[in-house]
């Protein structure tokens, strides 16, 4: 028994059941994004989605039945899962050593369901990139069926493009909210029309505001993603990027602001633009200055988070008014350092803070990257004048391998 799982979900949804309502991205042209490159968008039918929901229910029921037989009162544990695997060798093979592709998928599904149950079966995330392109009646019926089968569900979230939000009738957004859609994650990235046009976001400053307001007015909470560094390494453009992004945020006043600093990924179209000399990447110093300006310019309270590893200075999540001072203090401390010490701090964050470990786990710590990292480390250890340049090359290459 398997459900269909897409390639990605948002950070912070580790407690959620991933329910795929469409495949890939209906836009799929943003230069900086490689998540759905060379993948064709398609909608899943309501029947397909309901089958997945029903499979999750069957797995839950079987796990609870096994637990009752084992005398553990329906509670799911590792022993329960091992017994499930043992009872159904045709489904799961000789887990984990001898499995077909289909059996591995079944095991992945079981793992996802068990994880969800252990977290209380409360959160569901609707994949993939823009669930709101699904016809509203079908999406409403999906959510209603989900909550009928699983009354424990309290939070249903999805991605949504700003333009899709803008084009969805306000009554439809309200209907989705009333059915149980509680959060919409919108990738604004920038409010600057020049940046949005260059990056092929397919949306404007004005449309961002209109789409965001529509979501918030419906009662659905909105998490807005913004991207320091997206304007590249040109300071004038960087300032306009931040100012116009703040204009959008302050107009919408989303429930949450999520910072995702730029990584120029090697399988993205932006990487090709960089190699052709059409894009100058930002330094980490510039992205940190953008972050300072962003924090200074927000005029409303919200949840503010920087949980993605591309962010160069700190990883935080909390009420903006309460963590604002600590973020300023961290930025002040960093900016007071010498250029050499700033380079050392950035290098250590990306090599020792977990990012390089992810790259290694993906099998992407190749000889070229290893050489860049070792060269940067040697320049720092010996206090060489080219240390900053060497660190910039190494960090750029680390982040080009992908985003944890």
Query: Tell me: the pLDDT tens digits for 81-107?
Result: 999 999 999 999 988 888 999 999 999
pLDDT tens string 131-184: 999 999 999 999 999 999 999 999 999 999 999 999 999 999 999 999 999 999
Residue 317: pLDDT over 90: yes
Asked which of 288, 319, 339 is the last residue of a domain, the reply is 339
| 3-class DSSP string for 215-267 | HHHHCCEEEEEECCCCCCCCHHHHHHHHHHHHHHHHHHCCCEEEECCCCCCCC
**pLDDT score for 12:** 84
Residue 319: pLDDT over 80: yes
**pLDDT score for 95:** 84
**pLDDT score for 6:** 85
Listed in sequence order, the DSSP H helices in 119-221 are 136-149, 162-167, 170-179, 193-198, 205-218
Average pLDDT value over all residues in the chain = 96
Q: For residues 254 and 358, state if they share a domain.
A: no
Q: Classify residue 5: in a domain, yes or no.
A: no
Q: Which of 98-102, 247-251, 317-321 has the lowest mean pLDDT?
A: 98-102
pLDDT tens string 342-391: 999 999 999 999 999 999 999 999 999 999 999 999 999 999 999 999 99
Q: Classify residue 1: in a domain, yes or no.
A: no
**What integer is the mean pLDDT of 190-211?**
98
Q: For residues 306 and 195, state if they share a domain.
A: yes
Three-state secondary-structure class, residue 112: helix
Q: For residues 151 and 206, state if they share a domain.
A: yes
Domain region containing 389: 340-404
Q: Classify residue 187: in a domain, yes or no.
A: yes
pLDDT tens string 48-86: 999 999 999 999 999 999 999 999 999 999 999 999 999
**pLDDT score for 116:** 96
Total Cβ atoms within 10 A of residue 237: 18
**pLDDT score for 37:** 87
Q: For residues 382 and 298, state if they share a domain.
A: no
| pTM metric for this prediction | 0.94
Q: For residues 54 and 203, state if they share a domain.
A: yes
Q: For residues 25 and 126, state if they share a domain.
A: yes
- 21 alpha-carbon distance from chain centroid: 17
Lookup result for tokens 């897409």: 6
**pLDDT score for 227:** 98
Q: How many domains does the chain have?
A: 2
CATH code where residue 64 lies: 3.80.30.20
**pLDDT score for 9:** 75
Q: For residues 291 and 376, state if they share a domain.
A: no
Residue 10: pLDDT over 80: no
pLDDT tens string 266-287: 999 999 999 999 999 999 999 9
Asked which of 284, 313, 339 is the last residue of a domain, the reply is 339
Q: Classify residue 241: in a domain, yes or no.
A: yes
Q: Classify residue 4: in a domain, yes or no.
A: no
Q: For residues 269 and 156, state if they share a domain.
A: yes
**pLDDT score for 391:** 98
Whole-number Å distance between alpha carbons of 244 and 3: 41
Q: Classify residue 2: in a domain, yes or no.
A: no
| Closest by CA position to 234, among listed 278, 191, 188, 291 | 278
Which has the higher per-residue pLDDT, 8 or 113?
Answer: 113
Q: What does the angle CA 310 – CA 164 – CA 142 come to, to the nearest 5 degrees? A: 95
Asked which of 339, 355, 381 is the last residue of a domain, the reply is 339
Per-residue tokens: 343: 């380079």
**What integer is the mean pLDDT of 250-254?**
98
Q: For residues 125 and 135, state if they share a domain.
A: yes
| Closest by CA position to 176, among listed 207, 212, 131 | 131
Q: For residues 120 and 133, state if they share a domain.
A: yes
């Amino acid at each position: 028994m398997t459900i269909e799982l897409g390639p990605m979900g948002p950070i912070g949804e580790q407690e959620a059941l991933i329910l795929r309502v469409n495949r890939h991205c209906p836009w799929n042209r943003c230069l900086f994004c490689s998540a759905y490159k060379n993948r064709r968008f398609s909608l899943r039918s309501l029947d397909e989605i309901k089958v997945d929901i029903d499979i999750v229910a069957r797995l839950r029921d079987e796990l609870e039945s096994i637990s009752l037989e084992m005398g553990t009162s329906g509670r799911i544990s590792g022993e329960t899962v091992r017994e499930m695997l043992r009872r159904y060798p045709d489904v799961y093979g000789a887990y984990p050593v001898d499995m077909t592709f289909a059996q591995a998928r079944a095991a992945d599904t079981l793992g996802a369901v068990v994880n969800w149950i252990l977290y209380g079966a409360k959160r569901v995330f609707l994949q993939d990139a823009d669930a709101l392109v699904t016809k509203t009646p079908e999406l409403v019926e999906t959510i209603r069926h989900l909550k009928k089968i699983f009354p424990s569900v309290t939070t249903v979230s999805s991605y949504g493009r700003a333009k899709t939000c803008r084009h969805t009738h306000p009554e439809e957004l309200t209907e989705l909210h009333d059915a149980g859609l509680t959060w919409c994650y919108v990738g604004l990235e920038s409010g600057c029309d020049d940046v949005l046009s260059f990056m092929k976001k397919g949306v404007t400053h004005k449309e961002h505001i209109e789409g965001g307001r529509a979501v918030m007015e419906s009662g659905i909470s909105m998490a807005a993603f913004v991207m320091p560094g997206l304007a590249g390494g040109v300071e004038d453009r960087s300032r306009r990027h931040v100012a116009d992004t703040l204009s959008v945020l302050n107009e919408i006043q989303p429930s949450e602001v999520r910072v995702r600093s730029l990584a120029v990924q090697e399988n993205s179209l932006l990487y090709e633009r960089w190699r052709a000399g059409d894009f100058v990447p930002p330094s980490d110093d510039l992205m940190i200055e953008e972050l300072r300006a962003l924090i200074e310019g927000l005029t409303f309270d919200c949840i503010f988070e920087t949980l993605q590893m591309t962010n160069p200075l700190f990883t935080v999540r909390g009420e903006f008014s309460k963590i604002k001072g600590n973020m300023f203090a961290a930025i002040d401390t960093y900016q007071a350092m010498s250029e050499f010490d700033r380079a050392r701090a950035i290098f250590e964050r990306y090599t020792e803070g977990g990012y390089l470990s992810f790259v290694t786990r993906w099998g992407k710590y190749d000889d070229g990257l290893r050489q860049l990292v070792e060269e940067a480390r040697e320049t720092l250890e010996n206090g060489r004048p080219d240390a900053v340049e060497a660190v910039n090359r190494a960090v750029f290459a680390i982040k080009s391998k992908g985003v944890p």
